[in-house]
Structure 1
Amino acid sequence: MPYKFNWTDLTLEQFFREYWNRKPCLIRSALPDDFDGITPEELAGLALEEQVESRIVIQSGEQDYTLKNGPFHEDDFAALPQRDWTLLVQGVDRLVPSVQKLLTAFDFIPYWRLDDIMISYAVTGGNVGPHFDHYHVFLYQVAGTRRWTLTNQHCTLDNYLENVPLRLMREFPIMLDWIVEPGDVLYIPPLWGHHGVALDDDCMTASIGYRSLRAREIAEALADWLAENPAGNTLFADPDYTGTPPGEIPERVHAPILSALAPALSSPGLDEAWAQLVTLPDQAAAELLPEPLDPPLSLEMLPEKLQSSPVWLRDSVTRMALTPQGTLFINGMAWETAASAAFKRILANSILYEELEAVLTNPQDAQALLHAINQQWIVPDEP
């Protein structure tokens, strides 16, 4: 089922105006306090698997941390101390459909901004140390209680402890101090240091992370677009060099440089380059992309399939983005389809799909839906 985010006394407009990319925000009772998407035992089971990225962090002194990387064995868990350890599993949304459905509560952030959902389980005292990130994160307290301390001071690359296997902040002057309970959601923007310590043996937190792209990544995406598009053959048109010493670059060169780059810096070039960048799967996701159905469904089989499976989910690693010009990018590629603009909006703007039978009234949309199912971009929601 889809989740609804409870903003209580805070409006969405206030959140973006006052907090997004600016300062932390704690929303009490924002989500269910009895989330049953995954248990600590199931999380530990994922950490035993070879293809799953997992870590265990153990604190044995004020600045003494041990980092262990998975996959783990059952004996590893049996050997853990009674307190002060944390298990972290990355990409749980890619592995557990009920966790992926959490994204429906955060549909005010573009789905293509998502990095992944990491889930941690900690016993009393468990923590990963004070640190800061370069991305946006919503921390949903699934179970148990945790104390969060935060700061925006000294969040720089030179403020790290040496000889520690984690990138932990050396100086951490506390500016905010909150205790969170099940159902609470804490938003932390980039470059805010945070330190979360479990206050009981039932502490489970879902970290919904949204990446922040660096300028060089955007520039690389523009270069890739120019390399694949005829507009990339635009020639640099030299300016008038009258009066310019032969070893100096005149300011007059700026305009022709920008003119050569203009196809990539204006629509649709910029839109397509951006859509390609934000939907391109990373290496870990690329290994999990779905294979086409074999044998594929036929158009005649589609109505019965939709009746037997009324609810569908976006494939957990598939990314989609719709450009202002109406081109739908899926996993880094533009999808050439005759589907209607309305159908492409439905596909791009949802994680959970219902009442898809209505699509069958339009032959082009029906064909596009069949293709999406056969490519396994969307899959039946299994109870």
Structure 2
Amino acid sequence: MTFTDFDVDLFLRDYWQKKPMLIRNPWQAWANPVEPDELAGLACEEGVESRLIGRADGRWSVEHGPLAEDRFARMGAAPWTLLVQAVDMHVPGVAALIAPFRFVPNWRIDDVMVSYATDGGGVGAHYDQYDVFLIQGLGRRRWRLGQHCDADTPLLVQEDLRLLAQFDVTDEWVLEPGDILYVPPGVAHDGIAVGDDCMTYSVGFRAPSRSELVEQFCAHMVTDMVEDDRYADPDLRAQANPGEIDAAALARLQAMVMDAVGDPAAFARWFGTYNSERKYPELDFRPDEQIAAEDVRELVADGVALCRNPASRFAFVAQGGDAVTLFVDGQAHDCDGDAALLARQLCAADVLTLDPVLMEKEAAVSLIVTLYNEGSVSFDPEDGPQD
């Protein structure tokens, strides 16, 4: 899917992480990519994160999946909402919704959550700590936006919902199929289905907190530290008051910490590895049969396209010259020359038709073999040339 009427530069300059934006049906041709029954089926599967949210008599209820197959038939007349996370991992048409938003770096993309709601259904007034594009898929939804919120904003905690104690409405729109609402981090919002069969696609973006970065990076660095790397003060002199921690000691102590975490190359390698870990690492996508170099060359010669696994995360960090470090699903691959060219291509496109000349290079073929056998890429004959 592509946009035909959307000014990326204007959006990034005036709206991204600044203020909400209503985008009326910018698609070349909007088509809802997943049907309600298919979404309900996903919510019944093991390994798929889902929630069923209802409200009756002023109280919210939350039920976590996997749901029983007959659960929806027993919902009754009260409004309810089904939320299913990471549907892009399971439905190619939903994964395709991410492509128009690639003006935001891939490492920032989280997943596409899909919601289905009956008339009046919603999840209450709340705010998120990340950017989100809310795409109306089926039916209509009334969105109300409000004040900017932060950690000091009073909340009402019901079940595991974090709802606003006060919601000051500033804007209100009804979205039709194909319409998009962009909501920056911290902006209060509340979406309510207008009629039945209301489906909304939430393209969410990750934004690691400072505390997360410090905690995770330091934990990573500590694993390689040795016990005998300790504070030393061979130039110690007697001081007037033995109870003082003097400036020289503090400077040494802080330098020990800063030297340990201040290596840009070490941070880049850690972050690329950490950030590229799969959202659900417990899921195993490795193929039943591994592939060999000669198989890769044969498939490429036949024009079969190489496809990234929608559940996989690809990113790279440029090194000196033409070299890059490719990060895929929590693994780092140091690449140069032809392998580096391939790594850049893999990060730029979900589906890649490879140049057979490139397959004459052992390093490039070896990279594909490794990624295929890890379940990060596959060859899909349907993406090759059609008769």
TM-score above 0.5, yes or no: yes
> AA paired with 2:290?
P
Which SS does the other structure have where 1:313 is aligned?
strand
1:30 to 17, 26, 39: 26
State the 1:382 CA deviation: 6.9
> AA paired with 1:100?
A
Q: Distance in 2 between matches of 1:227 and 1:131?
A: 37
Post-superposition CA distance 1:200-244 (Å, at most 9, x none): 213111111112211121112322442355799876565977668
Larger mean Cα displacement after TM superposition, 167-176 or 251-260: 251-260
Post-superposition CA distance 1:272-315 (Å, at most 9, x none): 12212211235xx1111422x44322222223323557333311
The answer to whether residue 118 in structure 2 is matched with residue 119 in structure 1 is no
Quote the residue 2:312 is aligned against.
318
CA contact (8 A) 1:32 1:183 kept: no
The answer to whether residue 57 in structure 2 is matched with residue 58 in structure 1 is no
Quote the residue 1:342 is aligned against.
341
Structure 2 CA distance for partners of 1:345 and 1:331, relative to 1, 3 Å: same
Q: Distance in 2 between matches of 1:220 and 1:266?
A: 16
Quote the residue 1:139 is aligned against.
134
Larger mean Cα displacement after TM superposition, 352-361 or 12-21: 352-361
Q: Distance in 2 between matches of 1:314 and 1:70?
A: 27
Structure 2 CA distance for partners of 1:55 and 1:162, relative to 1, 3 Å: closer
Quote the residue 1:351 is aligned against.
350
CA contact (8 A) 2:3 2:28 kept: no
TM-score by length of 2: 0.86
The answer to whether residue 368 in structure 2 is matched with residue 369 in structure 1 is yes
Q: Distance in 1 between matches of 2:303 and 2:87?
A: 24
State the 1:197 CA deviation: 0.7
> AA paired with 1:370?
V
1:333 to 327, 331, 337: 331
> AA paired with 1:128?
V
Mapping of 1:304-315 within 5 angstroms? Answer: 304-306=298-300, 310-315=304-309
State the 1:136 CA deviation: 1.5
Larger mean Cα displacement after TM superposition, 83-92 or 301-310: 301-310
The answer to whether residue 272 in structure 2 is matched with residue 275 in structure 1 is yes
Larger mean Cα displacement after TM superposition, 23-32 or 178-187: 23-32
State the 1:271 CA deviation: 1.2
Structure 2 CA distance for partners of 1:257 and 1:195, relative to 1, 3 Å: same
Q: Distance in 2 between matches of 1:308 and 1:382?
A: 9
State the 1:29 CA deviation: 1.5
Quote the residue 2:290 is aligned against.
296
Larger mean Cα displacement after TM superposition, 83-92 or 118-127: 83-92
Larger mean Cα displacement after TM superposition, 310-319 or 197-206: 310-319
Which SS does the other structure have where 1:73 is aligned?
coil
| CA RMSD across the alignment | 2.9
> AA paired with 1:328?
L
Quote the residue 1:248 is aligned against.
244
Quote the residue 1:264 is aligned against.
261
1:206 to 198, 201, 204: 201
State the 1:245 CA deviation: 4.5
CA contact (8 A) 1:309 1:380 kept: no
Quote the residue 1:69 is aligned against.
64
Q: Distance in 2 between matches of 1:191 and 1:53?
A: 24
State the 1:345 CA deviation: 1.0
Structure 2 CA distance for partners of 1:255 and 1:98, relative to 1, 3 Å: farther
Q: Distance in 2 between matches of 1:28 and 1:258?
A: 53
Q: Distance in 2 between matches of 1:47 and 1:222?
A: 34
Larger mean Cα displacement after TM superposition, 273-282 or 191-200: 273-282
Bigger strand share = 2
Which SS does the other structure have where 1:172 is aligned?
coil
CA contact (8 A) 2:306 2:379 kept: yes
TM-score by length of 1: 0.86
> AA paired with 1:184?
D
Quote the residue 2:145 is aligned against.
150
Count how many residue pairs are aligned between Structure 1 and Structure 2.
375
State the 1:147 CA deviation: 0.9
> AA paired with 1:322?
F
The answer to whether residue 38 in structure 2 is matched with residue 39 in structure 1 is no
Structure 2 CA distance for partners of 1:197 and 1:344, relative to 1, 3 Å: same
> AA paired with 1:192?
V
